[in-house]
Amino acid sequence: MKRLLLVFITLTLVAALASPVLAASSRRGKRTFKKECKTCHVEGAEGGKISPLQKTQAQWREFFKKNQHQVKPDVWKKLSDKERENLLKFFLDFALDSDQPETCG
């Protein structure tokens, strides 16, 4: 019985690590957001203010999968896969319908 539990835990861990979104880091995503996005996305800048709260998790997924910042594709191409993963994690963690919507910054 104990052994079965151990196998289960190991498999869960492996699955978690293998899943890109779970392995991604929200904290790093936030850093990327500040560095790469906020230049154009603060109040009064050309892209207007954006925050994770602006969209639901489904909408963010859609944006990352389909839109990929069509207005300025270069912005997106510049990012590494890992940066995009972390960024998505950050947006999902603080999205409108997340457990902990971003209330500041």
Q: Residue numbers of the site for ligand HEC (CB under 6 A)?
A: 36-37, 39-41, 46-48, 50, 63, 69, 71-72, 75, 79, 87
CA 36 to chain centre: 14
Which one, 20 or 38, has the nearer CB to ligand HEC? 38
CB of 99 to ligand HEC, least distance (A): 21
Which tokens is 48 given?
């207007």
Distance of alpha carbon 20 from alpha carbon 94, whole angstroms:
18
Which one, 17 or 71, has the nearer CB to ligand HEC? 71
